[in-house]
Structures are given as structure tokens and as C-alpha cells.
Amino acid sequence: MHTLEIKKNIFWIGAVDFAKRNFHGYSQSPLGTTYNAYLIKDQKNIILDAVACDYAEVMLCRLAQVLPPEKVDYFVINHTEKDHSGALPVLFERCRPEKIFISAMGKRFLEAQFDTSSWPLQVVKTGDSVSIGSRSIHFIETRMLHWPDSMMSYIPEDTLLVSNDVFGQNIASSERFSDQIDSAFLLTAVKEYYYNIILPFSPLVLKTLDALEAMRLDIDMIAPDHGLIVRGRDQVAGMLAAYRALAEQKTPRRALILYDTMWHATERMAAAIAEGFAAEGVPYRIMQRSVVHHSQIMTEMADCGALVVGSPTHNNNMLPGLAEVLTYMHGLRPHNRIGAAFGSYGWSGEAPKLIHDRLASMEMEMPAEPLKLHFAPKHEDFCQCRDLGTAVARSLKTRTG
């Protein structure tokens, strides 16, 4: 089992989960994930973060290749969610560290999840540091990125930031570094992770990025707890810039038409709405809810400034799959979008208005009234659909200049 030295006497001792599909409630594309953990060998040997419980022995095996477990002096736990803390009871029994450094909220969360009565927990906060010999570990709290307990660890002597879930991606591969894969592929994975995990906390992301700039930290490597390690100053600068752009949620001039259908009438409406975007020169993507997962829809939203949602009326409501997507989306709090609603109906027709109100509750700009058509759309109805697409496209062009 291979253990990788990412910097001199700093080792990746994590695990790769190639089979993972459902991650924190979203189903990423079939790339699996990693649980990254790190070992620093110095006068005091220190482990930063852990892995899921199923991979405890994998982590111990990697550790043992470079250091006997009983020689570990300290743990740092930047985040206590089970994919990073599940292996801690096994690791503690094997390593018996002198100290476990953790945030105040992290201490509370560990105590709620495990029997920590014999664990030497030591609370740290932003500005605190610990010397381990030729190096020091500086702690930076990043509350709500994405849990209240979250923090980062910075090692100035190695210009290394261990960032826990921030800057992560779900990529399971034999590569460990961001410069070993295609940059567009990496950016898509970053967007997927951000828009399904970090998005609700975008204002805090911006504050954290500003704080890191104010600290004038010298960083040439970011080691997250999921995915690939970002190495090289250009790669680090690119990741920081990508996160700022994602957090700012500036409106891209592109539209997503999302629909579900029963007898293809709403599907035909979606195609006609797309013609309105095409006429205005606005790129678009059409997605049918019944064949895509809600996490794919959120990832698509990263590149779309407009969202047009359609459903037939079913039991005086929208179809359940679309209701589920809009509930998921509402919790992730996308900002700076333009929205619109449409759908066909047989005898009542509530769905478009319900969708309209749901999008408006996310503070989307709604430039058109909800469009509903009786049964299958006729030729003259397609003009209404195209006009809806045109109205949204023009609003999007106005907003994006």
C-alpha cells in the first residue's frame, strides 16, 4: 500500500473510496471520493485529520510504512464529521497521542459522537499555534465552512494549508495532485462540490478568502480533506480565484431549462422556450428531472444565470421529483438568478404558479408570469413559450451587460 510524501517529511496517509456514490445527500458523478489525512514527521509527530471508520486500517497501514503508530505525538482534527472522524477511536487506541487539538465546537461534537473521556482534547482558536520542532501549526477557525466546528491548519515553514472540506472535490483516482489531471475536469469537480456542499455559506467563503489575504499567508500547496491536493503557486491562485468566483455568484449568461413531463406536453413547451433563448443568442441546457439527479442540476446551476422550471399539474401540485429538487435547491440558497415557470395541465393547473412562488422565495428575479397551457400545446401556444424564453433571455442579457 503506497504512502506518498507530499513535502519533505509530510505524508498523505488517507484512503480512496472508488465505490462512493451518495455523498452527504448528493450523488456525484461516478468518481468516488477520497478521505485525506496527513502525517508530519518532526520532533513531535502529528496526524492531521482522519478517515471514515471503514478505512481505519487502511490509514494505519499507510502510517506504519513511515512511522510506528505509537510514535505519533499529536492529532489535529479540523472537522468532526464522520467521514473525517469515524476512524478516530481505532486511531486513538493504536497511537495514544499526548494531545488532540480541536476547535471548541469540535470538542463538543466529538464528545457527542464518541466516548472521549480518556482523550486528551485541547481546544484551539484562530491565532493559536503549536510548535512541533522545526515547524509550527497555526490554527484558523472557519466556522460553517461547512460545519460550526471547521478549522484549517497552516504550516508556514512548508507554505502548506490543510483546509479540511474547503477547496475539496470528489475525485477518486491514483493521482494525488491537481496538476496531474485536466484542468477543466478539476474545475467541474470543484463546482460540483461547491454547489452541493459549500454554496449556502458563500458569504462566509468571501470573508474567509479576505481573511486569508489579510493574513498574507504564503501558500504553495492546499491539502483538502477530499480529492486532489493543489500544488504550485499558479494552481493555488487558480483555486482561490475559482472559489471567489463561485462565492460571488455573478450571473453567467446561460440558462437552464428544467422540466418533468407526463405525456410530453410540458416537454414540448420546454423545447419551444429554448427557441426564445436561441433567438436571443443565449446558450441554454435542457434537463429532464426524471433522468438526472438533483446534484447534477445544482452543478449545472454553477454556470447558469437563469432557471426556467416546468411541470404538469399532478394532484393539484407539481410532480414530486421537481418538488424535491426545488426543496434541495432552496436549502442551498443560490443567489443572483432569474427564474420563470411553465407547465401543461388537464383540469386545474396549479403547478406553474407553485413553481413561480418557489423560485421567487429564493429571491430570483421573475420577469414573466407563470405560463400554463391546456393539454397539448397548439401552434399558437408555441409562440407563448418562445416569448417566455425571450423575456427571460433579455432580462439575463440586461443583467449581464
Same fold, 4-247 and 255-400: no
Residue 313 CB neighbours (<10 A): 23
Ramachandran bin of 32, using left for φ above 0, alpha for ψ from -120 to 50, beta for the remaining angles: left
Q: Are 266 and 311 in contact (CB under 8 A)?
A: yes
Region 148-153 average pLDDT: 96
Region 245-259 average pLDDT: 95
3-class secondary structure, 177 = strand
In the structure grid, which three cell numbers stand for residue 273, read together? 422556450
DSSP designation for 13:
-
DSSP designation for 156:
G
> In the prediction, which pLDDT does 25 show?
63
> In the prediction, which pLDDT does 347 show?
84
* Annotated domain spans of the chain: 4-247, 255-400
> In the prediction, which pLDDT does 377 show?
80
The CA radius of gyration of the chain, in Å to the nearest whole number, is: 24
Name the least confident of 140-144, 345-349, 374-378: 374-378
In the structure grid, which three cell numbers stand for residue 325, read together? 429538487
Closest CA to 313 of 272, 366, 354: 354
Query: Residue 270's pLDDT band (boundaries 50, 70, 90)?
Result: very high
Closest CA to 321 of 340, 352, 294: 294
Q: How many angstroms separate the CA atoms of 220 and 255, rounded?
A: 36
Residue 187 CB neighbours (<10 A): 17
| pLDDT tens track for 29-56 | 557 889 999 999 999 999 999 999 999 9
Q: What is the mean pLDDT of the chain?
A: 94
Region 373-379 average pLDDT: 84
Lookup result for grid cell 397539448: 376
> In the prediction, which pLDDT does 26 show?
60
Looking at the chain, the whole-number percentage of residues with pLDDT higher than 70 is 97
> In the prediction, which pLDDT does 3 show?
78
Q: How many angstroms separate the CA atoms of 325 and 295, rounded?
A: 9
Q: Which residues contact 216 (CB under 8 A, 6 or more apart)?
A: none
Largest Cα separation within the chain, whole Å, is: 79
Query: Residue 22's pLDDT band (boundaries 50, 70, 90)?
Result: low
Q: Which residues contact 107 (CB under 8 A, 6 or more apart)?
A: 121, 123
Please check the confidence at residue 2 and state whether its pLDDT lies above 80. no
Q: Tell whether domain 255-400 is in CATH 3.40.50.920.
A: no
Region 283-293 average pLDDT: 93
> In the prediction, which pLDDT does 401 show?
77
Residue 57 dihedral angles phi and psi, to the nearest 5°: -70, -30
Q: How many angstroms separate the CA atoms of 122 and 129, rounded?
A: 12
Distance of CA 262 to the CA centre of its chain: 32
Q: How many angstroms separate the CA atoms of 127 and 204, rounded?
A: 18
Which residues pair with residue 26 across a beta bridge? Answer: 23
> In the prediction, which pLDDT does 32 show?
86
Q: Are 129 and 137 in contact (CB under 8 A)?
A: yes
Q: Are 310 and 343 in contact (CB under 8 A)?
A: yes
Q: Are 324 and 26 in contact (CB under 8 A)?
A: no
Which residues pair with residue 140 across a beta bridge? Answer: 152
| pLDDT tens track for 297-325 | 999 999 999 999 999 999 988 999 999 99
Q: Are 17 and 55 in contact (CB under 8 A)?
A: yes
Region 138-158 average pLDDT: 96
Query: Residue 131's pLDDT band (boundaries 50, 70, 90)?
Result: very high
> In the prediction, which pLDDT does 19 show?
78
Please check the confidence at residue 28 and state whether its pLDDT lies above 60. no
> In the prediction, which pLDDT does 376 show?
82
| pLDDT tens track for 337-359 | 999 999 998 888 899 999 999 99
Q: Tell whether domain 4-247 is in CATH 2.60.40.1530.
A: no
> In the prediction, which pLDDT does 30 show?
58
Please check the confidence at residue 176 and state whether its pLDDT lies above 90. yes
> In the prediction, which pLDDT does 29 show?
53
Which residues pair with residue 162 across a beta bridge? Answer: 153, 223
In the structure grid, which three cell numbers stand for residue 141, read together? 477557525
Active site amino acids: 24, 79, 81, 83, 146, 165, 193, 226
Region 50-64 average pLDDT: 96
Q: How many angstroms separate the CA atoms of 274 and 257, rounded?
A: 8
> In the prediction, which pLDDT does 49 show?
97
> In the prediction, which pLDDT does 286 show?
97
Full strand arrangement of the beta sheet holding 371-374: 284-288, 255-259, 306-310, 338-345, 371-374
